[in-house]
């Protein structure tokens, strides 16, 4: 069981900022920007590369959740970045698909 599954189950506390039946969003404990929220599906998909056509609706819900979180945290006007890391070379550290929503500071391009 990953740390994200434990957070979804409320076995580990988290600063939850948004939730619906399928998705949970909470503040990252090691933020890389003034706003750094992790958006995770409650149903485990290990990583984007392992998603299947059966996950299509859930993948869409994750992106719509990122918009809802951005609106709630007043990021729409200033802008925000949504990142998905897939695999160790991309910085993936938890094998549970998740989006990073970053904002409230200028973000350089290219990242990393």
- The CATH number given to whatever domain includes residue 33 is 3.30.428.10
| Residue 111, domain member (yes or no) | no
| Residue 108, domain member (yes or no) | no
How far apart are the C-alpha atoms of 8 and 109, rounded to whole Å?
32
| Residue 42, domain member (yes or no) | yes
pLDDT at 110: 87
How far apart are the C-alpha atoms of 10 and 36, rounded to whole Å?
20
**Structural domain range at position 49:** 3-103
Report the length, in residues, of the chain: 112
Choosing from 36, 96, 98, 100, which is the catalytic residue? Answer: 98
pLDDT at 111: 80
pLDDT at 48: 96
54-63 long-range Cβ contacts below 8 angstroms, 24+ apart: 58/22, 61/20, 61/22, 61/23, 62/23, 62/97, 62/99, 63/99
pLDDT at 72: 98
Give me the residue label for tokens 């909470």.
26
pLDDT at 37: 98
List, run by run, the mean pLDDT of 10-residue segments along the chain (112 residues): 97 98 97 97 96 97 98 97 94 94 94 74
Annotated active-site residue 98? The verdict is yes
* Tally of structural domains, the chain: 1
How far apart are the C-alpha atoms of 14 and 41, rounded to whole Å?
15
| Residue 109, domain member (yes or no) | no
Angle at 96 between CA 8 and CA 17, to 5 degrees: 40
| Residue 110, domain member (yes or no) | no
């Amino acid at each position: 069981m990953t740390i994200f599954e434990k957070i979804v189950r409320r076995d580990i506390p988290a600063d939850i900022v948004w939730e619906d039946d399928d998705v949970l969003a909470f503040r990252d404990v090691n933020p890389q920007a003034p706003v750094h929220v992790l958006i995770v599906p409650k149903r485990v998909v290990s990583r984007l590369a392992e998603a299947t056509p059966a996950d299509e609706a859930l993948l869409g819900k994750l992106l719509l959740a990122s918009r809802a979180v951005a609106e709630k945290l007043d990021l729409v006007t200033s802008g925000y970045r949504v990142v998905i890391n897939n695999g160790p070379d991309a910085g993936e550290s938890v094998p549970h698909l998740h989006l990073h929503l970053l904002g409230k500071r200028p973000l350089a391009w290219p990242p990393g």
